[in-house]
Amino acid sequence: MNEAEGLRFRRLHRPRVITDELPEDRRKGSGSTYSGKVFQVTLLSLGGFLLLPLFVIVVILESPVQPEVFSMKEPPLMKGCWEPNLKLRKAQRLFEDQVLGPESIANIGDVLFSGTADGKIVKLVGRRIHTVTRLGKPPCGSRDEELNCGRPLGIRVGPNGTLIIADAYLGVYEVNPTTGETTRLVAGGQEVAGRKLSFINDVAVTQDGKKVYFTVSSSRWQRKDYLNLIMEATADGRVLEYDTVTRELSVIMENLRFPNGIQLLPDEESVLVAETTMARIRRVHVAGLNKGGMETFMDNLPGFPDNIRPSSTGGYWVAMSAVRPNPGFSMLDFLSQRPWIKKLLFKVRTYSRCPGPGIHPDLTTLCRILLSLLPFLPPALQSRGSE
């Protein structure tokens, strides 16, 4: 064998790297790598465990609302007459922290009348508060008690000095402001033309007192569930007419999205109706040749309209329940085209109760486990209690 052949069969050894690291240090490094992997696995497992309730909510649980897709125009720029100002900060505050949730206000001379969140009709005279009457039955004050206690909303003064009041649950009433005597004109909850009067809102009355017009915001949702109504945006609202002479009840207009405030025009042949969800005011013809017709009186408001009342200058005051800022971001405008987000939000918000074990024991157990984990979900997806 020559020298070249010897080189051909010579085994090459892998080069060794010589460092100052001691053997015990190398063992520590290996342990550190192992600990890091354990930490990663634990973190991923914990994340998956915490996201499990969200996954179950999205995939399995049924949403309590079935939102409709609708389009809204881009909100008007906050310029000109829409430019924000601080004028309301100069308003005088009356009976601050003394009246619980007053909604609408009517006056007879210098005496003010309003309905409150605890079911009362109150009279405000000078600096004193007097209870005129209570339409429902106590106990009152909580969301779940509204059904029996009542929630007076719209209030007007009739031609004979009585008060005409729309209660969200109980119906439309006539109240003597002096004696407190009440007469129910329209019962809430009844079916009219195949739909329930589930959420009566505002009221208007003609000068002769023969016609009473009122809005029904929804035939499905009650006032205590008004957030469901806003998010679902169902066009099941109506305007009704009650004839105080014949006692007949008829539907004037339907298929409105959350009809709210109502105001008779001076000729009493039409009413203005705040269609809250659509950020607009509709004009509904209630008498004359155009009875039953409707057109848009004012469109694309910078906020969501509530009550409408006449001003002393011939125009109208419109209260806005929320603003649609531009420039800015309007959540309700954003969600109008994204019903899946609404469903997700209300799945989390609504499922605060589990079915009884009689339905399915395993389902009840799973539900309780999931609900115990809801506090760990992101704050935007949590229920923060009632509205």
Tens digit of each residue's pLDDT (9 = 90 or more) over 87-134 = 888 889 999 999 998 999 999 999 999 999 999 999 999 889 999 999
378 to 14, 53, 228, 280, 310: CA distances (angstroms): 55, 12, 21, 34, 45
Range of weakest confidence among 10-19, 32-41, 160-169, 300-309:
10-19
Please choose, from the candidates 169, 165, 69, the residue with its C-alpha nearest in 3D space to the C-alpha of residue 122. 165
Find out whether 177 and 123 touch, Cβ atoms under 8 Å.
yes
pLDDT at 13 over 60: no
pLDDT at 5 over 90: no
Mean pLDDT of 3-22: 53
Mean pLDDT of 4-26: 54
3 state DSSP class of 187: strand
CA–CA distance, 325 with 342 (Å, rounded to integer): 21
**E-strand spans in 72-116?**
105-108, 111-115
pLDDT of residue 19: 53
Find out whether 239 and 262 touch, Cβ atoms under 8 Å.
yes
Mean pLDDT of 252-261: 96
pLDDT of residue 81: 87
pLDDT at 143 over 60: yes
pLDDT of residue 63: 74
Mean pLDDT of 162-188: 97
Range of weakest confidence among 67-76, 176-185, 262-271, 368-377:
368-377
pLDDT at 2 over 60: no
Q: Between β-strands 249-256 and 237-243, what pairing exists: parallel, antiparallel or unpaired? A: antiparallel
Find out whether 204 and 234 touch, Cβ atoms under 8 Å.
no
User: What is the pTM for the complete model shown?
Assistant: 0.77
pLDDT at 11 over 60: no
| H or E stretch covering 28 | helix 23-59
User: For tokens 């009689």, what's the residue?
Assistant: 358
Taking only the tens place, the pLDDT of each residue in 46-90 is 666 656 665 665 666 677 778 888 889 999 999 888 888 888 888
- The domains found in the chain, sorted by start residue, are 97-332 (2.120.10.30)
pLDDT at 241 over 60: yes
Rounded to the nearest integer, the mean pLDDT of the chain is 83
Q: How confident is the model at residue 360 (pLDDT cuts 50, 70, 90)?
A: very low
Taking only the tens place, the pLDDT of each residue in 200-216 is 999 999 999 999 999 99
Structure tokens of 387?
A: 């509205």
Find out whether 175 and 163 touch, Cβ atoms under 8 Å.
yes
